[in-house]
Structure 1
Amino acid sequence: MCRSAEEGGRRCPNCGSESERATHNARRRQNRAARSAVVSWARAEGVPDEAISLLAKAPPSVAKRWAREAGAPASLLEDPPPASAARAMSPREVSDIFWVGPDVLPSIIATAAQQGRHPRERALLDAEVAGLEWAEESGVNETIRVRLTDGADAYHKPFDGLDEEASEDYGHDGPLQPVHEVAAWALARELGGPWDELVPPCVLREIDGRLGSLSMGVPGNVTNPLPVVPEERILAAGFFDALIGQQDRHGGNLLVDQDRLYLIDHGFAFGRTGDGYNLQLLQQRRVFHAPQLTDGERSALHRLVGSSDLLGVAPLLQGDRADALRARAEIMLASGRVLPGGWF
């Protein structure tokens, strides 16, 4: 509740009088009740518990928008009648709204609803945390190394630790990167080998009170893969980067462990026409050395475009990004070639 500083609480702007504070607190109670109603309806509709947990933490306006798009009855979505003392939200109230917005919440809920069916995803979701430390190799976004009690390491990128300027440079109009990390794994998982062996499993999970992507740690070092990794693996990685619209594949976001190659850091992916990009090393190598699609790649693309929801990946993405993914797959099928860098 909003209380004056003398009462030990906080004082919101424009809450100087007792009547203003009462009106403000009444509105907060209405908003919380509206969110609770949405959560109850979602639970009755069989929405998974992990998605319910996320919905319960969303701003009430965002929860209601999600319910509207999910087909909730109109009676659930009716706003309370305007009060005579109604006013615009104060700056403090706006600052209380967390990172999530109405354009991002559906992707988060869809992601949480489908994760955990793969055993390696379940391991990431269920393992208890033994310790946390900053990842020394962290890039532009905050990255936390998570030591799990099962002995594994994982890497957490919270939604509230993103570099906003970098996001804007890549055309992100919201905190999308943790969702993209999971979406890249989800696509690799559905396509199967060799791509599900290149991309580490990833889920959305709350760590230390902060929601973000949690990627399974993999062995390896940042080094040139060409001398040690089989050529077919490098070419498969170039195809995958072209498919997901990878905007930032530089030497620091791939790992090499003996003859194994792992692709990490997919936050800046699923680009759209006109979006910016940095380096696309593996995709460019594929275009220059072996641009023709393999039979396995053609088969994978046919399965992808033949699926109404892109093998379950479309709900995880914003609509225009899902459309761009489908378009890339269709263009590659029509041309028989991997797309060159910068084609989103």
Structure 2
Amino acid sequence: MPAAERIPAGSVTSGALDLLQRGELTVRGRIREASNAVLYCSVAYEGREAACVYKPVAGERPLWDFPDGTLAQREVAAYEVSEATGWGLVPPTVLRDGPHGEGMCQLWIEGSDDAELLALVQGEEPADGWKAIGFADVGEGRTALLVHADDERLRRLAVLDAVINNADRKGGHLLTDEGRLYGIDHGVTFNAEDKLRTLLWGWAGEPLTPEAVGALETLRDALADEAPLAVRLGKLITAAEVDAVRGRVGALLSSGLHPVPGGDWPAIPWPPV
């Protein structure tokens, strides 16, 4: 029997969703650092194989501000919205049955060190090509300025996070592969209440790019009642949460600006990386 065709990590092909949805999942290990159950798997179907992440609903820890057993659906909803923008910032993600019950299954992104996205620097202001996040305690009473790259890929992700109300955009959730940027871990998103908590505040209050405005206009149309995206989201999150997405898209288009921290919710996740 010929060896299975392997899909490289980070390769987003036209058949990736079909492979993730219909392939046989084999658990290879567990990612211990995660707060919920995160299983590293292989998925194989009709001579094709890829590495993937499987997060069973049964392995989700309850959260006080999100309904129990909904994190997997939110991960899939984040992928759907990302795809609707045309930016492809979230790896292919599906909801499916697996060895431990229903859960989300996402193409594995190995990540590389080809781009430095975050840094701690001395001084009061960031250097050219960087955006300030805030000062961080580095021990012994010393602080350093935490900065992120002034990178168009990160800027797109900042817009996406504002739309999906991402409550946990940490540095460890940013992966690059062959020049592409991906965001992962979108379980705590889409809450109807404002919970945006991110490291990507460098553009706060600045005008949205024309590209971002175009993507938001596309999203606005895609979220109309009975539009395919709206219907798919309605199967993953609540009606109130879908309405909240519409409201956030409308607010961004109305202001024409990147959002600023609201003050009623911690602006930066902890730990930040």
> 1:184 aligned to 54, 78, 90, which one?
78
| Whole-angstrom distance in 2 between the partners of 1:151 and 1:224 | 30
Question: Is the aligned partner of 1:285 residue 2:208?
Answer: no
| Whole-angstrom distance in 2 between the partners of 1:189 and 1:258 | 19
| Whole-angstrom distance in 1 between the partners of 2:246 and 2:183 | 21
- Structure 2 vs 1, CA of residues 240 and 322 (structure 1 numbering), >3 Å: closer, same or farther? same
Computing the radius of gyration over CA atoms, which structure comes out larger, 1 or 2? 1
> 1:155 aligned to 48, 53, 73, which one?
53
Provide the residue aligned with 1:299 in structure 2: 214
| Whole-angstrom distance in 2 between the partners of 1:246 and 1:175 | 17
| Whole-angstrom distance in 2 between the partners of 1:271 and 1:262 | 22
| Structure 2 counterpart of 1:261, one-letter code | L
| Whole-angstrom distance in 1 between the partners of 2:203 and 2:164 | 15
| Whole-angstrom distance in 2 between the partners of 1:133 and 1:200 | 20
Provide the residue aligned with 1:253 in structure 2: 173
| Whole-angstrom distance in 2 between the partners of 1:265 and 1:235 | 18
Which has a greater percent of helix?
A: 1
| Whole-angstrom distance in 1 between the partners of 2:184 and 2:203 | 18
- Structure 2 vs 1, CA of residues 324 and 139 (structure 1 numbering), >3 Å: closer, same or farther? same
Which has a greater percent of strand?
A: 2
* 1:235-246 alignment runs, 5 A limit: 235-246=155-166
What secondary structure does 2:260 align onto?
coil
Q: Deviations over 1:3-49 (max 9, x none)?
A: xxxxxxxxxxxxxxxxxxxxxxxxxxxxxxxxxxxxxxxxxxxxxxx
How many residues in Structure 1 have an aligned counterpart in Structure 2? 214
| Whole-angstrom distance in 2 between the partners of 1:218 and 1:145 | 11
| Structure 2 counterpart of 1:297, one-letter code | A
| Whole-angstrom distance in 1 between the partners of 2:50 and 2:80 | 21
| Structure 2 counterpart of 1:125, one-letter code | Q
Q: Give the C-alpha shift of residue 230 in structure 1.
A: 7.3
Provide the residue aligned with 1:126 in structure 2: 22
Question: Is the aligned partner of 1:201 residue 2:92?
Answer: yes
> 2:41 aligned to 146, 162, 169, which one?
146
| Whole-angstrom distance in 1 between the partners of 2:51 and 2:238 | 30
* 1:48-87 alignment runs, 5 A limit: none
Greater CA drift, 253-262 or 238-247: 253-262
Provide the residue aligned with 2:251 in structure 1: 331
| Structure 2 counterpart of 1:200, one-letter code | P
- Whether the aligned pair in 1 keeps the contact of 2:168 and 2:188 (CA below 8 Å) is yes
TM-score normalised by L of structure 2: 0.70
| Whole-angstrom distance in 1 between the partners of 2:36 and 2:225 | 33
| Whole-angstrom distance in 1 between the partners of 2:166 and 2:214 | 21
- Structure 2 vs 1, CA of residues 327 and 135 (structure 1 numbering), >3 Å: closer, same or farther? same
**5+ residue gaps in structure 1?**
1-117
| Whole-angstrom distance in 1 between the partners of 2:150 and 2:15 | 27
| Structure 2 counterpart of 1:300, one-letter code | A
| Structure 2 counterpart of 1:269, one-letter code | T
Q: Give the C-alpha shift of residue 174 in structure 1.
A: 2.6
Q: Give the C-alpha shift of residue 293 in structure 1.
A: 1.4
Matched residues, percent identical? 28
- Whether the aligned pair in 2 keeps the contact of 1:249 and 1:280 (CA below 8 Å) is yes
Tell me which of the two structures has the higher relative contact order, counting C-alpha pairs closer than 8 angstroms and 6 or more residues apart. Answer: 2
TM-score normalised by L of structure 1: 0.56
- Whether the aligned pair in 1 keeps the contact of 2:166 and 2:198 (CA below 8 Å) is yes
> 2:152 aligned to 205, 228, 232, which one?
232
**5+ residue gaps in structure 2?**
1-13, 120-147, 266-273
What secondary structure does 2:160 align onto?
helix
Q: Deviations over 1:112-155 (max 9, x none)?
A: xxxxxx6321121122234431124x421110011123331111
- Whether the aligned pair in 1 keeps the contact of 2:19 and 2:43 (CA below 8 Å) is no
- Whether the aligned pair in 2 keeps the contact of 1:224 and 1:251 (CA below 8 Å) is no
